Amino acid sequence: MSPTRWPHYFETQIPLSEEPLPVVARLAGSGLHASYVVYENGGTWSYAGGARAELTLDRHGARLRQEDVPDTLLPWADRPLELVARLLDTVTVPEWRAYGWAAFELSYAKTGDLEHIGDERLLHLVVPRAEVRVEAGHAYLRAVDQESLAALMETMVEPAEPPADPPKPLDVHGPGEFEYREAVKLAVEEIHRGDLSKVILSRVVDVDEDIDLIATYVTGRRSNTPARSFMLDLGGIEAIGFSPEIVVNVTADGEVISQPLAGTRALTPDLLLNASLRADLLGSAKEVYEHAISVKTGTDELEDVCVRGSVEVPEFMNIRERGSVQHLASRVSGQLAAGLGTWDAFTAVFPAVTASGVPKDAAYTSIRRHEPTARGLYSGAVLTIDHTGELDAALVLRSAYRKDGHTWLRAGAGIVENSTPEREFEETCEKLESVARYLVPVREGQES
């Protein structure tokens, strides 16, 4: 089919007989673009390569760079995500769709407070030079020129590559066990003092071997059951992940949805054992309490930005299987109030209560006290947003990260008053297994 001219884009559609996973992996590994994002949302897989427009946020303010237009910098303000919304309104690409990420530390600064952040980037979005969306056996392609469109098509129809080397699982039970258990013990003491009700504390597991992240994504995705999945190389960070839940989804007509998951047991190959663990999860006062206060916080957050009376909990405390674990899961929804926009909803909900704590400000203090390193992308969001205001933000958990040649995994557990250090450490191991089982080493002579 011949491409038709769009303003700023050429577009075409092709049938696709191959499953989406290897196709988007080939695009990511093709080298066609120095930066890319792959995002899986339900039955749609998207690849976004390069940047026609690029928006970044740090302590100095929000900056927008786009082709043939002078850069725009809006200085830091008390509501920095309003700056992001204003800049996106000036993007010149028709029918744009942006892809990117938000760091967890944005939570410290989203109301303008700069005390707890350094020079790190808090948000990075791009409107791509080339975009592919795969759904229902078809691929929709658009690119800035015909040459780029042809390169996408050529890559997509290349013969399938030979299977990657088998994964080399990483033992996640040893590193940092003593330190993590001590942190849990201290957090429980804080909860008993009344400082807070819940906090999620995480630990880092370094990966010393050189890992092929794209092959790891393909191998891990075949065995995981995520709510969303993603792969990216953007803004100096590489990551792959199998997100168990969304932070927030905002539709074009203003419906706002969050999806708290809290309460965890292992998921094993043994169906009888899984049933026993599920019954134990549903019958655990600790896990049910942890989940219930997360749903209550999620409801309160939506009440702040939604039409009065529209907030409801259409799904409460079901079981969701996510890779190596099973969770208690709920869904909270509401209708965005008049005069408010997508970024108001994001501000209200971010970061996910299931990755921070209750109340959030007290949880932030506990996290900074007990975690030795900044979180960055971990427990932040990978997201898409488009010109209609539709936003989908995946919670960044069950992921592998690489920056400056250093690769690591990270996972946490929800600490409440009757938590035990032993069980919370084991929960982090169960979650880490969602990625640690599928790490594919770089082949000899291959660049990572």
Residues assigned a catalytic role = 245
Query: 404-409: long-range contacts (C-beta < 8 A, 24 or more apart)?
Result: 404/236, 406/206, 407/206, 407/207, 407/210, 407/211, 407/213, 408/204, 408/205, 408/206, 408/207, 409/170, 409/172, 409/204, 409/205, 409/207, 409/435, 409/436
**Amino acid code (one letter) for 164:** A
365 in Cβ contact with 408 (< 8 Å): no
The whole-angstrom distance between residue 281's C-alpha and the CA centroid of its chain comes to 25
Please list the residues that pair with 133 across neighbouring strands: 46, 140
93 burial via Cβ count (<10 Å: 0-12, 13-18, 19+): buried
Q: d(Cα 335, Cα 313) in Å, to the nearest integer?
A: 13
Q: Sheet containing 138-143: which strands, arranged edge to edge?
A: 4-6, 9-15, 138-143, 130-135, 44-49, 36-41, 228-234, 237-243, 399-403, 406-415, 198-207, 357-358
Please list the residues that pair with 394 across neighbouring strands: 246, 382
